Amino acid sequence: MEVPAMKLLLDTVRIAYGDWSLSASGALEPGIHLVSGDVGSGKSTLSLMMAGLVSPLSGSVTTEGVTSRMVSFQFPEYQVSRLTVEEEYASWGADPVPLLESDHLEEKKGLHPLHLSRGELKRLHLSCVFSGNYDLLILDEPFSSLDCAEKERVCETISGRNWGITVIFTHEQTTFPKVDRLWEIREGQLVDLGKVPDALSRWHNAPPVIKDLISAQKIPWNISPSDLLEAACWT
């Protein structure tokens, strides 16, 4: 399938609150982008700005060829709109039956979503989000509240996304999907590190396992668990 020309353009945007500020420039094209940064660095604010929900103090955020978009907030409570788990799935246009099974929520389909545990609510929300096919998909901390097995399942879903622009904002340190391009927030500035794997050596916030592999001259092809394991086994 030919990928249409799509772009998310950040033209010298700047946002500020008191003494804190964040500046960003760059063009995000189809593929999977990962934006890392410390807690409080501005990842959530930048995600909202990319989604058009927060206006920059200066500069502009524009898109080309993007006809549909979705932002997944860090806290799924903000996007619940129905009275039962089953109805929540259906409200997103998804078939509840297979999702209830894959999310292990069959016995809780009649509960209000806010009566679920935090991890269960996150599974419900992400399944709803992934049921759509958006040109621009923005995921703010998609791995929070998930156990290791669920993180890997989410990563497999993201890695299999072959349409549009996907932007992941996270400070996750253990489990990642395959990504095409890395970005990093440093000292109030969004830095384009470039395409993977070349970008890995420029990743200041890289998890310890990736730093150790690079130090050992075992640069992985990508950052998924299978890629890291393969690199670790090189002789």
Q: What share of the chain is helix, strand, coil (3-state, %, to 5)?
A: 35, 25, 40
Q: Domains in the chain, start-ordered, CATH in brackets?
A: 1-68+136-195 (3.40.50.300), 78-132 (no CATH)
Contact 165, 74 (CB under 8 A): no
150-180 pLDDT, tens digit per residue, is 999 999 999 999 889 999 999 999 999 999 9
Helix, strand or coil for residue 163?
A: coil
For the record, the structure tokens of 170 come out as: 């996270």
Question: Which pTM does this prediction carry?
Answer: 0.94
Contact 150, 123 (CB under 8 A): yes
Rounded Cα distance, 200 and 211, in Å: 9
Which among 170, 176, 173 is positioned nearest to 211, based on CA atoms? 173
Residue with tokens 């997103």: 92
Q: pLDDT tens track of the chain, all 235 residues?
A: 555 689 999 999 999 999 999 999 999 999 999 999 988 899 999 999 999 999 999 999 999 999 999 999 999 999 999 999 999 999 999 999 999 999 999 999 999 999 999 999 999 999 999 999 999 999 999 999 999 999 999 999 999 998 899 999 999 999 999 999 999 999 999 999 999 999 999 999 899 999 999 999 999 999 999 999 999 998 6
Rounded Cα distance, 11 and 4, in Å: 22
77-111 pLDDT, tens digit per residue, is 999 999 999 999 999 999 999 999 999 999 999 99
